[in-house]
Amino acid sequence: MQETRYGLRVELPVGYDAAVERATAALKSQGFGVLTTIDVQQTLKQKLDRDFRRYVILGACNPPLADRALHAELEVGLLLPCNVIVYETTPGRTVVAAMAPLAALGIVGDNAELQRVAEEADARLRAALASLESTPTA
């Protein structure tokens, strides 16, 4: 798993459709449901007549964590849900990446309860991505 300033990322030797399916299942195993699905390729084609790689944004939500976060900081909804992206790098290879909750929620400031929520969300997203890395490709 690779980390950036604002994300967690894995590259998989599987096709795009399989990666989307696996990512959704891995999120579910960690208590996240996908509330929204934005097909970036389709949207850019429809709105701008631009071609783009296969790319989807999944708006993932873990209801108990979202509830705790909203009670700790009402306007944290601006940072929800946790975005997870899946995109094709080449045929048969994809990237699955998730926002880094500690970085995202860290901009809120000093809020101990929100920090605990961010730590749990981070652990769950890391577990989901790690499970993708360890899943056999066949």
Q: pLDDT for 5-55, tens place per residue?
A: 899 999 999 999 999 999 999 999 999 999 999 999 999 999 999 999 999
**What is the CATH superfamily name and number for domain 2-134?**
TT1751-like domain (3.30.310.70)
What does the domain layout of the chain look like in residue ranges? 2-134
d(CA 76, CA 30): 21
Is the Cβ–Cβ distance between 86 and 96 less than 8 Å? yes
Kind and range of the H or E element at 61?
A: strand 55-61
Residue 138 has pLDDT above 60, yes or no: no
- The predicted-structure confidence for 50-107, as pLDDT tens digits, reads as follows 999 999 999 999 999 999 999 999 999 998 999 999 999 999 999 999 999 988 877 8
Nearest to 31 by CA among 72, 81, 71, 70: 81
